Amino acid sequence: MKIAIPVEENTLDAKVSSSFGRAAYFLIFDTQSDEARFIDNPAINSTGGAGILSAQTVVDAGADTLLTPRLGQNAADVIQDAGMQVFQSKEGTAKENIEACCAKTLKVLEEIHEGFHGHGNRE
Amino acid sequence: MKQLLILSGKGGTGKTTVAGAFIQLADAKAYADCDVDAPNLHLVSDWTEAPTRSDYYGLPVAQIDNERCIGCDLCRTHCRFAAITVQEAYTVHPFACEGCGVCSYVCPAAAIRMEPAVAGEHKLYAAENTVFSTAQLKMGSGNSGKLVTEVKKQMRQHAQTADLAIIDGSPGIGCPVIASVSGVDLVLIVAEPSVSGISDMERIVQTARKLGAKIAVCINKYDIHPDYSEQIARYCEKAQLPFTGRIPFDPAVVRAVNAGRSVVDIDCPAAEAIRQVFENTLPYVFA
Amino acid sequence: MVTETGNKRIAVLSGKGGTGKTFLTVNLAAVAGPSVYIDCDVEEPNGHLFFRPDAVTDEAVTVRIPQVDPALCTGCRKCVDFCRFHALAFTKQLKIFDEVCHACGGCLLVCPQQALTETDKTIGVIQSGRTQNVSVRTGVLQTGEASGIPIIQKLLQNTDPHPQFIDCPPGSACGVMESIKDADYCLIVAEPTAFGVHNLQMVYELVRLFEKPFGVVINKVLDEDNPAERFCQKHRIPVFDRIPLDTKIGKLHSDGRIAAYVSDAVRARFATLWEKIQKEVQSEATAHS
């Protein structure tokens, strides 16, 4: 699996970000090679369409799985279109979430919140 | 931390007066003014400390280098926002420019660049464990939605022990209102009992519903028109919206506000009613 | 200055909401008839509730939104990279996000395959009708839409030769600017409160930035000495009228009635105000000719 997680710091011990669209970084973790890399989120200061740009970034990074506390409608459209699976992250670090994901203890993210017309985010 | 947003649809119904009162009553440790176009909450908030200020950048603005310009007119004809005009030289009107970059793209002489533009200022007041986040949009700017988002984000980031945040919203139903609704736990609509007030209230209810927000309604200056107040109460019942009370018109309110004080600091009918509305509203925030 | 067609365009604005813009604009249009009332507060239009115009015709206002022909799209992503509003994304196909799109037309230009074309999306409507000798034009933004600017622009493409009274949105942001851009005169409605003055300052700066001649009416006056009065004195701003807080008139207005049609005193008051404004517009025209 190639797992994407929004985080505020570029370490595996970073807490999962409470926002997808405005997270500082995306952790891309390859479960086969155990490799972790961090991408700067280009959407962090965007005036609108942050969710869309963040989703595009994560898709382009080759992730097939996304762990996130929440997701807006627009971002979800992009993620789902790309055929990625989305699980609801739990409180804790990125590392803990990766372990939970591999142990299949995370739930599929079901609640996609209403789009905010490119102007809002939910934290 | 739960967030209560105060909206109205119509301007001048008493959002800021109610927000200011709620902040006092809740002893709120986190609050924000999302009416970035015409912020007023700071006028009834007591801060002696200076705020931390930061520039807010909206979308970039196109700049034409007249030395390089060959006068081909492609920029002006391609601009969808009528932001480029020509008299002696080609000029971009910064207020009309939406920052799309089309002019820069079509210019054959590389004479147009997109330059960062300050579109407002954010102010963060923080002391002990209380935070107040507010901002002022530069006059004539667009991009208010992003600044509203920034105001809320700063409030959340600096709120430490707060369990309830009060947010003063803006009138209307557009961009800044839509941005302010995101992520809040309850929208309290302060309605005005008048023909205009009812029309505007229905539109903001519709908007908030489209955004999936939880809504409650109260009436301010209800006694200026008891019939319309009744109409609003019945509307809420029919629409299954919690109705959290009525506040009377009270000249003491204006005098309190003019003196920079919160209305609940004064012993008057409006203060009593606002207290009641506050008590009625709170359970819906935490539900 | 007076525009070429002899139009007098008076924009009524306020900064703070609820000061009485609609009250002033509606009643001015009523006494100045034949006239045109234009409601540019497209998010929360109210004037039509007072005029209740007859024979209303609707005109949809649309914006151009891109659409893609998937057969032509090669997935090169030039459009995705170009869009500063991030309204485009590409996964297995191109996705377009309408509500984030600013209709700039850029993506169409950059596509090397010409796979993008445009379609119209309705964002609102302009309702036109008449009441007595007032032509009423109302802009209404569809709820959920973020910006009514295209509606305001269309509303003001008006060549009616009679005096035009523009009811502006509250505040001093892009909607207000658009509404006053081509006005001959700006009438600022001020509220005599601390909140009112704070916003009066902003709108005062806006009209000066746009180099518009302007004057102030202070509305709902309780005490003669109030923050708005002091502000106008300090900046030497002409105050055309000080309308006292009057519960009878307030009730008429909250009932959706046009006070100038009902009360002779109100009619006279607004007639005087309109005379003053006309004189100002005339002297501006002379000064600039």
| pLDDT tens digits, one per residue of A83-96 | 999 999 988 899 99
pLDDT at B181 over 70: yes
pLDDT at C1 over 60: no
How many angstroms separate the CA atoms of C214 and C207, rounded?
A: 7
C89 vs A47, A78, A83: nearest CB: A78
pLDDT at B140 over 80: no
Q: Render pLDDT for C109-140 as a digit per residue (tens, 0 to 9).
A: 999 999 999 999 999 999 999 999 999 999 99
The residue among B72, B95, B116 that closes a domain is B116
Interface contact B57, partner A, CB < 8 A: yes
Span C90-96, average pLDDT:
92
Tell me, what's the pLDDT at C289? Answer: 63
Cβ contacts of C222 on chain B, cutoff 8 Å = 251, 254
For residue C288, CA distances in Å to A34, C2, C84, C101, C278 come to: 75, 10, 42, 41, 15
Number of helices (H) and strands (E) in chain C: give both, helices first: 11, 11
Q: Which of B225, B231, B224 is nearest to B253 (CA)?
A: B224
Interface contact B143, partner A, CB < 8 A: yes
CB contacts under 8 A, B 11-50 vs C, are 11-13, 16, 37-38, 40, 43
CATH code at position C262: 3.40.50.300
Tell me, what's the pLDDT at B169? Answer: 95
- pTM of the predicted model, to two decimals? 0.83
How many residue contacts between B and C have a Cβ separation below 8 Å? 168
Interface contact C150, partner B, CB < 8 A: no
How many angstroms separate the CA atoms of B263 and B24, rounded?
A: 9
Is the domain of C13 the same as that of C81?
Answer: no
Is the domain of C160 the same as that of C248?
Answer: yes
C97 vs A49, A82, A119: nearest CB: A49
Q: Is residue C78 part of a domain?
A: yes
Average pLDDT over all residues of chain A: 86
Interface contact A77, partner C, CB < 8 A: yes
Is the domain of B214 the same as that of B144?
Answer: yes
Tell which of A59, A114, A117 to mutate to test the C interface (max C CBs under 10 Å): A117
Model confidence band, residue A113 (pLDDT cutoffs 50, 70, 90): low
Is the domain of C96 the same as that of C195?
Answer: no
Is the domain of C161 the same as that of C270?
Answer: yes
Is the domain of C206 the same as that of C275?
Answer: yes
Q: Is residue C181 part of a domain?
A: yes
With beta carbons less than 8 A apart as the criterion, state whether A39 and A31 touch: no
Q: Which domain holds residue C18?
A: 9-40+156-288
pLDDT > 70 in chain C, percent = 97
8 Å CB contact of B211 and A48: no
Tell me, what's the pLDDT at A121? Answer: 33
pLDDT at A101 over 80: yes
Tell me, what's the pLDDT at C2? Answer: 45
Cβ contacts of C144 on chain A, cutoff 8 Å = 117
Residues of chain A with a CB closer than 8 angstroms to some CB in chain B: 22, 45, 47-48, 113-114, 116-123
User: What are chain A's partners, defined as 3 or more CB pairs within 8 angstroms?
Assistant: B, C
Q: Does domain A2-102 have CATH number 3.30.420.130?
A: yes
Tell me, what's the pLDDT at A118? Answer: 44
Query: Token digits for B73?
Result: 């007119």
Span C262-275, average pLDDT:
96
Is the domain of B74 the same as that of B171?
Answer: no
Please count the structural domains in chain C: 2
Tell me, what's the pLDDT at A114? Answer: 55
Tell me, what's the pLDDT at A120? Answer: 39
Is the domain of B232 the same as that of B93?
Answer: no
CATH code at position B225: 3.40.50.300
Across the strands, what pairs with A66? A4, A86
CATH code at position C87: 3.30.70.20
8 Å CB contact of A119 and B175: yes
Kind plus residue range of the DSSP H or E element containing B207 = helix B195-210
pLDDT at C26 over 90: yes
Is the domain of C246 the same as that of C104?
Answer: no
pLDDT at B189 over 50: yes
8 Å CB contact of B140 and C174: yes
Q: What is the ipTM of this complex?
A: 0.81
Q: Which domain holds residue B81?
A: 61-116
Please count the structural domains in chain B: 2
Is the domain of C100 the same as that of C167?
Answer: no
Nearest residue in C to A60, CA atom: C91
Is the domain of B93 the same as that of B229?
Answer: no
Q: Render pLDDT for B39-70 as a digit per residue (tens, 0 to 9).
A: 999 988 888 899 999 999 888 999 999 999 99
Average pLDDT over all residues of chain B: 92
CATH code at position B93: 3.30.70.20
User: Residue B198, Cβ neighbours under 10 Å: how many?
Assistant: 23
Tell me, what's the pLDDT at C7? Answer: 58
Span B76-85, average pLDDT:
93
User: Residue B46, Cβ neighbours under 10 Å: how many?
Assistant: 10
Interface contact B2, partner C, CB < 8 A: no
With beta carbons less than 8 A apart as the criterion, state whether B95 and C174 touch: yes
Min Cα–Cα distance to chain B from A68, Å = 16
SS3 call for B42: helix
Q: Is residue C92 part of a domain?
A: yes
Interface contact A67, partner C, CB < 8 A: no
Where are the domains positioned within chain A? 2-102
